[in-house]
Each structure stands twice: as structure tokens, then as C-alpha cells.
Chain A
């Protein structure tokens, strides 16, 4: 295994940053380094799916990626176009500002090759509608932690329908208190218990 891939996937932060610097000094291109990072992130995602890694490992992996990107970006001639599996709009619904779960889902979708537009927290219904119009995703993900997120989920999906956008997208919902009962209540296409479920749903809808 490439030492950079190994260091990142084994959670050795200092080694990862040192190796990235050395590779750059020895003439490895910025693009290649970022490719190694992508490979490592995919491994981290796999270990999370397998129940070997948890929230702390995802957070540290994200942090290592950020630090290495900061180092190599100045050497990058232009933005890199990577072929993505599909487009996803995601956000925490109106009235709810919880984002730990949503951020994990965004991370996992991203490392699994999706182009994710994260609208943040307390996202008004209209903002979801506009994002779907502009970004044209195949999938919309609605997150919420509170029981008071149920109605905003329902209202957001209704608004997509009213705007004539519902047919063109699949909607998945998730959060601590979301289950099949709420999927039915909110008229979503599916719900997910965790980030792995979100990835599996997105895959099934885009490939």
C-alpha cells in the first residue's frame, strides 16, 4: 500500500502530513497526492461501513484531508474534474439546527463519489425548492433530529411536489427519530437509519 494511503487510513495524522510534504518535495504531482487521499478516504468509509471506524475516525480523516489539501493546493494548476456518480442536495430541515448526523452522511456520500450540495441547517422549504431547480440533483436528503422536524420534512416534500419537481427526484429522510412511520407521514421515498443506508439508497437511485 502507498505510505500516504496507509497513514491516513490508519489514523496516523502526523505521518500523513509529513509524507504528503515529502512526496511533494520529491516531485510527486499535487494531483497524484490528492488521488492517494481519495483512495484513503474511500478506505476510511469502508471501515466505517464495516463497524471498525466511528465518528472520531471520520472527523480525523476529514481533518487530515483538509490539511493535506491546504499543502498541495498552491501547486495545483487548476481545479480537477472528477467524474461523479450523481448529484445530491442535502440539508437539515427548517427549525432544526442539528448537523452531526447530516455531516456524517455528507462525508460518506462524498467519499463514495457523489456530488453533494449541502445547504446547511434550518433550511427553509423554499431554499430546498430553489436548490433542486438550479442544481438538478437526482436525490434530495432531508435531515432532522427533533420530533418537530417531521412536519418541515413533510412540508418540504409537498413544496417540491407543488413546484412540479417531485417526479424528478428521489427523497430520503433521516435523523435520530426518523423511521418507516415518518417516511410514510412525510411522503418520502425512503428513510435511512445511518450514513451507510444513505449511500446504499443514493447508489440504488443513480446507477
Chain B
């Protein structure tokens, strides 16, 4: 992409479809990347083209095989999740071995595993991670609680950033407890009124918190350099693009997962529905901005894991009232910027398909990855307007046999992939599997998924 296409003024002139093209052009020829061989570069471009084709509901060369990978590469390479989060050499060895041995069409990127060292410095309380609250062999897991209290909606709605700074961060990071004493930055107006803002910064506990933050920042820099080098090595030698550029969340999940918790948000739905709806409205532009910024100019796809709107979590009416409207607004906002929302639909969504399919989201702009949703129904309802995929059971990848996986993959491709617009993947995040079964999934997808 030409440098000036991305300048702010030019960008404003472009329509959504032109922005989409600009993103994919940059994704196809990433700036500053030196491929090891011309073959690797061609393989990379082929894979990006397959992704673009499926998003636009065309038939690609073949079905792209983009498994959704959790901590599995480490189990495969004999490295514990704890080591992966603390020893970046081992992180790199395991991920390089995994990609070289399995050669999927996408990269399991290193930064998602996080740095245990950074979290240790900050005393992160929102998660337990391997060796810190869960066994060294377990993946990191969120500790649900009411980090935002039921009576704090007004503070949140009035100033979400201020709320995060002075209420939320001090609760989830032990090292930032002192930030409760900070004043809002919007207090800083004129010389005579500057005191109340700057004086709390001098309080020893606040000083300590900033020292810790600086320390964490240094550790994060060391980590991201190591993690980026790991990804670059695989990208440039094998030609594997990451499917994800950035990430964001559904407003209901943002509040329900890590602020109010499931218990809290479900009670809010009854006790203070207007405030819940207002808080979610507030999160729409914030969610769009996060997605666009985290994807950056070189990658179109924004990962969105969907949690608490699944079948069973709420009635269809509640889904239509509380979950879907603000999620849809975030999706539309991303599309407007030329981004491609990648909806990772955990659990089952059989009751939600009609609502989503009828919602007026433009054709050929989104990716929907399903787990236990009925794929024939998805094909029927989504086939003509959105790329979709997923569904290979992780239980089968762990406890099944290669022939069984092979048969299953063929059936999914027969049922769903005939017209293009399909990505082969496992249904849920993969932390554990038999290598022969994962090989069977990837190899069958590549062989059987060729369009003739």
C-alpha cells in the first residue's frame, strides 16, 4: 500500500469497501517483512488471498485450514504452559516446532500467551495462570467477580476511562491499588487548580505503583520483542499469516465477563436494566476504537470472542434486547472502517441464527466461527451472506481416532464448503489433543478441500 493512502484525510474519503481493499492490500504485502524464500512469500500471499476470497464468499483455491489454537503447541513440544509464559526461548521453540510440523494456513501468534513476568510485577488478580493459582500444566483462566460494584454504573457511564483508572485497575492489579487516590485527568484545567491533581501523585503508595508500572513496561518490552521475533520467524519461513489483526468484545461480554461478572450482570438485567443498556451504549464506540486500533493499518481482521449470549445464557427476547443491539453496532462500526469482524461463537447459537442473519449486516464482510451450532442450519441461513466455519469437536481431536476425524472433516466440507466462503477449524480452543488427530484434520482439509 502506498504510504499516503492511510493518512487521516485520505482515509476519511474512502468508503467501507475501499477501506477493506486497502487493509487487504497492506495485509498481502506487509511492510518491513523480509521473507526467507520466494516460495514462502508466495505461500503467504496465497493464504491471504484464500482468506480474502472466503470473506467475500468466493471459492478460494481450496478451503483454508485455520485451527483455533490455545496452549496445545506447548503440550505437543513438551513445554509446560508455565514455561511458555516465563521462558520466551521455550515459547519460541514450541511454537516454531508446532507450525513446522503441522503447517496449518494460519499462525498461532505468540503474544496471546502473555508474559507471566509482567503479571507478577503488577500482581494481576483477574486471572490465575500456570504456576500462579492453577497447575503449571493448565492454561490461564479468568476469576469472575464483581470488580465493578452494582452501584457504580453512574461513575462508569459518566467517565469510563476515569472509572477504569480509579476503580477497576486498582481492584484487578495489586500494584495499582494506590490509583484509587488519583484524581481524574479532566481536573487539570488551570494553574491554580492543578494542585489537587498532582499532589496525590506524591503519595508514597502512588509513587510505588508508578515504579511498578515502569518495571512492568520494561518487562513487557523485553517480552514483546521476543514474542514478535517468534511470529516473524514462522511467518517469513513458512508463509503463515495470522488470521487475527486485532481484538474487541461485545459490550455485554465486556461488562459481564470482567467487570460485573455473570452473577452481577444477570441481576442487573432485572434490577437496573436502563443503566445496563446505557453502559453498553457507552461501550460501543470504545469497542469499535479498540478493534480498529488493535488491528492497525496492516491487518483487516478483528477477533471477537462471544460468551454470554449463547443458547441457554438468556432468552431470545433478552438476546434481542440486551446482547445483540450493541454487538451489532460494534460489528457495523468495524465494517465501516474496512475491518472484518471475526466472531468466535462459543457454545451453541442455534436459537440466535435467525436474529443475526436478518439483521442487515452487509454481505461478505464478516467471519463467523461456530462450535456446537448445527452447521447445516448455518449453511442454510448464513451461506449467501457471511463466511463461516469451525465445528470440528475438540473432544474428537483428543479422544478420537484419525480415521474418525478424517470422515468428520469430509462431511463438514461436503455439507458446508461447496460454494466457498468456508474456513475449516476446530470448534473450541485447543489446549489438548492427539497429534495424529490434529494432523488428520489439517491434512484432510488441505487435500479434500481443493476446489475443482
State the A residues within 8 Å of B (CB).
11, 13, 52-56, 59-60, 63, 94-98, 100, 122, 146-148, 150-151, 176-179, 181-182, 184-185, 194
**What is the CB-to-nearest-CB distance from B2 to chain A, in angstroms, rounded to a whole number?**
45
Q: Most chain-B CB neighbours within 10 Å: which of A122, A147, A181, A185?
A: A147
Task: Report, nearest first, the 9 A-B pairs whose CB atoms are least far apart.
Answer: A185-B399, A56-B266, A95-B138, A147-B432, A59-B266, A181-B395, A148-B431, A147-B431, A181-B399
Q: Can you give 16 contacting A-B residue pairs, CB < 8 Å?
A: A54-B318, A56-B270, A95-B137, A97-B134, A100-B144, A122-B134, A147-B432, A147-B433, A150-B398, A151-B432, A176-B347, A177-B395, A179-B395, A181-B393, A181-B399, A182-B398
Residue of B nearest to A182 (CB): B395
> Which residues in B have their C-beta under 8 angstroms from that of A63?
267
In Å, the complex CA distance between A100 and B429 comes to: 18
From known contacts A177-B395, A178-B395, infer whether A13 and B270 are also in contact, taking CB-CB under 8 Å.
Answer: yes
8 more contacts with CB within 8 A, not counting A13-B270, A184-B399, are: A11-B270, A60-B266, A97-B141, A147-B395, A148-B431, A150-B395, A181-B399, A182-B399
> Which residues in B have their C-beta under 8 angstroms from that of A100?
144, 262
B393 to A179, Cβ gap below 8 A? yes
**What is the CB-to-nearest-CB distance from B123 to chain A, in angstroms, rounded to a whole number?**
18
**What is the CB-to-nearest-CB distance from A176 to chain B, in angstroms, rounded to a whole number?**
6
In Å, the complex CA distance between A181 and B394 comes to: 10
**What is the CB-to-nearest-CB distance from A101 to chain B, in angstroms, rounded to a whole number?**
9
In Å, the complex CA distance between A169 and B137 comes to: 29
In Å, the complex CA distance between A184 and B404 comes to: 15
Residue of A nearest to B72 (CB): A147
B138 to A96, Cβ gap below 8 A? yes
Task: Determine the interface band of chain B, counting residues with CB < 8 A from chain A.
Answer: 35 or more
Q: Residue B6 at the A interface, CB < 8 A?
A: no
State the B residues within 8 Å of A (CB).
70-71, 128, 133-135, 137-139, 141, 143-144, 262-263, 266-267, 269-271, 312-315, 318, 346-347, 393-396, 398-400, 428-433
> Which residues in B have their C-beta under 8 angstroms from that of A94?
135
A56 to B314, Cβ gap below 8 A? yes
**What is the CB-to-nearest-CB distance from A133 to chain B, in angstroms, rounded to a whole number?**
24
**What is the CB-to-nearest-CB distance from A20 to chain B, in angstroms, rounded to a whole number?**
17
In Å, the complex CA distance between A29 and B261 comes to: 36
From known contacts A60-B270, A97-B143, infer whether A54 and B398 are also in contact, taking CB-CB under 8 Å.
Answer: no
> Which residues in B have their C-beta under 8 angstroms from that of A146?
138-139, 141, 431-432
B430 to A95, Cβ gap below 8 A? no
B266 to A150, Cβ gap below 8 A? no
From known contacts A95-B138, A97-B134, A194-B312, infer whether A150 and B432 are also in contact, taking CB-CB under 8 Å.
Answer: yes
**What is the CB-to-nearest-CB distance from A149 to chain B, in angstroms, rounded to a whole number?**
9
A55 to B393, Cβ gap below 8 A? no
B428 to A95, Cβ gap below 8 A? no
Residue of A nearest to B266 (CB): A56
In Å, the complex CA distance between A184 and B128 comes to: 30
A59 contact from B263, B318, B347, Cβ within 8 A: B263
Residue of A nearest to B311 (CB): A54
A54 to B270, Cβ gap below 8 A? no
B430 contact from A96, A147, A179, Cβ within 8 A: A147
**What is the CB-to-nearest-CB distance from A181 to chain B, in angstroms, rounded to a whole number?**
5
In Å, the complex CA distance between A136 and B270 comes to: 39
**What is the CB-to-nearest-CB distance from A59 to chain B, in angstroms, rounded to a whole number?**
4
> Which residues in B have their C-beta under 8 angstroms from that of A150?
395, 398-399, 432
> Which residues in A have their C-beta under 8 angstroms from that of B143?
97
Residue of B nearest to A154 (CB): B399
Residue of B nearest to A121 (CB): B141
> Which residues in B have their C-beta under 8 angstroms from that of A176?
346-347, 428
B394 to A147, Cβ gap below 8 A? yes
Residue of B nearest to A56 (CB): B266
A177 to B428, Cβ gap below 8 A? yes
**What is the CB-to-nearest-CB distance from B397 to chain A, in angstroms, rounded to a whole number?**
8
Residue of A nearest to B130 (CB): A95
> Which residues in A have their C-beta under 8 angstroms from that of B133?
97
